[in-house]
Amino acid sequence: MKNFFARIASRMQRFMYGRYGSDELTLFLMGTALVFLLLSWVLWVFYFVGAALLIWATFRSLSRNVAARQRERNRYLRLIAKPKNFFKLQKNKFRDRKTHKYFHCTHCRAILRVPKGKGTLDVTCPRCHKITVKKT
Ligand SMILES: [Zn+2]
């Protein structure tokens, strides 16, 4: 039985050799497809959207055109970078809400973090090296 699974794993490895495999975009497509397939219980049209996303994810995983898949992945990562950073900042602001204060540099709009309760501080921005006076 162990030999049987080893043979299947070996065949699978041979099948996937030279193919793109999985990445962030594929996982996102599969997750979205799952949501649409669950929504198809409410409205049948969602079934086709979910199935199309699943087919797209499978196509991407099995594709041998690695360069094109990497371009798609990079486009996807650029697209989600801004919202991802926004939510990361909100999470950090909430985590540090009792110990630190966040604000924008008045010169270059960079986001700065200073400890709370230290009086009025002269904060030097690490990006533009200009000083902002901030009450903490
Ligand atoms: Zn600055």
Q: How far is the CA of 95 from the centre of ligand 1 (A)?
A: 23
Q: How far is the CA of 114 from the centre of ligand 1 (A)?
A: 14
Same domain, 22 and 83: yes
Same domain, 71 and 126: no
Output the pLDDT for position 65: 96
Q: How far is the CA of 116 from the centre of ligand 1 (A)?
A: 20
Residue 1 has pLDDT above 80, yes or no: no
In the structure, ligand 1 is a single-atom ion and the residues with CB under 5 Å from it are 105, 107-108, 110, 125, 127-128
Angle at 101 between CA 100 and CA 106, to 5 degrees: 145
Q: What percent of the chain has pLDDT over 90?
A: 96
Same domain, 32 and 50: yes
Residue 8 CA neighbour count, 13 Å, CB half: 4
**Domain containing 20: what range?**
1-87
Same domain, 41 and 76: yes
User: How many structural domains comprise the chain?
Assistant: 2
Same domain, 104 and 136: yes
Q: How far is the CA of 76 from the centre of ligand 1 (A)?
A: 29
Instruction: In whole angstroms, give the CA distance from residue 120 to residue 101.
Output: 12
